[in-house]
Amino acid sequence: MIDLFNHMIYLADMKLILILIISLSYFGTTNAELQHPGTGSFIETGALQTRAVYGYKVNTFYGVPKFDYGDFSIEGFRSNYNLISSDFIKIGPLLSYNFIPYDQGDIDHLSGMKRNGFFEVGLLTSISLPFGQLFLQQSKALHDLPGYNYKASFGTGIPLYKTAKSNIWLNVMLEYAFISSNTSNYLFGVNESEITKTRPQFTSTRSKLFTSIWGLWTPLAGNWWINATYKIDKFNKEIISSPIVRRRVDSTLMIGLMYSFGNLNK
């Protein structure tokens, strides 16, 4: 019964992607023509709240830069360069940094455990569609016992309401990822040296992750925007078997103020 329930959830996720793509195919105007601020460079800062799969909750501040110049781009802690570049497809290497997944001081059952942040190197392919962008990524995670990970993402912006100078945008990103056993074990495993009476040794197998990001971007005066973003990471049910995991869903709510620089290539 549980397996059937999880299968139904998976089919619902896939159906959501299909319905979204079909519905967005009716939009004949591109984001660039409607002056979507995400097609250029911007910087955003604000506050966020995260509820992690490990069971703790964090309230903190964040800052996200995005700069595009020619075939080089930086977004957050990821950079990439397009070796192949056209209006339809872009392909090139990427480098990103992943912060530590948890700290031993976050919650009692993580006491005595430590993981370091790590880099990822790989290849990013982005395909421009009339109603959004499709991203395909394969990368090598450079932590202890490196792992290979694969992601497929679809992102788009939907103009909800026309204002005097711009639009209120609903931004959507849907992503499906396959996480290798080495990376999954780095995130959710318990090594022999970390065993306690209440925390047995655990070795994680490869994981699957479905991510959905929903953002509402509302223009203010000039190039200023106020953004509200909700991010949901849903892992496969097997991670619950880990003694350091308390839930299979990681959620983040972000409220930020953004300044758009526009297209720096002009």
pLDDT at 7: 46
Mean pLDDT across 117-121: 95
Mean pLDDT across 69-92: 93
Contact 176, 208 (CB under 8 A): yes
pTM of the model: 0.83
pLDDT at 266: 54
DSSP state for residue 192 in the 8-state scheme: G
Query: For 132-190, how does the pLDDT look when each residue is reduced to its tens digit (9 = 90+)?
Result: 899 999 999 999 899 999 999 999 988 888 887 788 999 999 999 999 999 999 999 99
CA distance 174 to 194: 35
Q: Residue 241 — left, alpha, or beta (φ > 0 → left; ψ -120 to 50 → alpha)? A: alpha
Rg (CA), the chain: 20
Identify the band that residue 113 occupies on the pLDDT scale cut at 50, 70 and 90. confident
Mean pLDDT across 258-262: 87
DSSP state for residue 53 in the 8-state scheme: T
CA distance 96 to 125: 15
Question: How many other C-beta atoms are found inside a 10 Å radius of the C-beta of residue 161?
Answer: 10
pLDDT at 239: 92
Q: Name residue, tokens 């959710």.
A: 188
pLDDT at 6: 46
DSSP string over 80-113: EE-SEE-SSEEEEEEEEEE--S--TTSSGGGTT-
Identify the band that residue 263 occupies on the pLDDT scale cut at 50, 70 and 90. low
Mean pLDDT across 194-219: 93
Identify the band that residue 15 occupies on the pLDDT scale cut at 50, 70 and 90. low
Residue 229 half-sphere exposure, CB side, CA atoms within 13 Å? Answer: 25
Identify the band that residue 265 occupies on the pLDDT scale cut at 50, 70 and 90. low
Q: Between 107 and 42, whose confidence is greater?
A: 42
SS3 state of residue 31: coil
Q: Which of 26, 14, 13, 9 is nearest to 156 (CA)?
A: 26
CA distance 222 to 163: 13
Mean pLDDT across 87-114: 87
Residue 73 half-sphere exposure, CB side, CA atoms within 13 Å? Answer: 23
pLDDT at 131: 81
pLDDT at 27: 46
pLDDT at 20: 52
What ranges in the chain are assigned the alpha helix state H? 2-24, 181-188
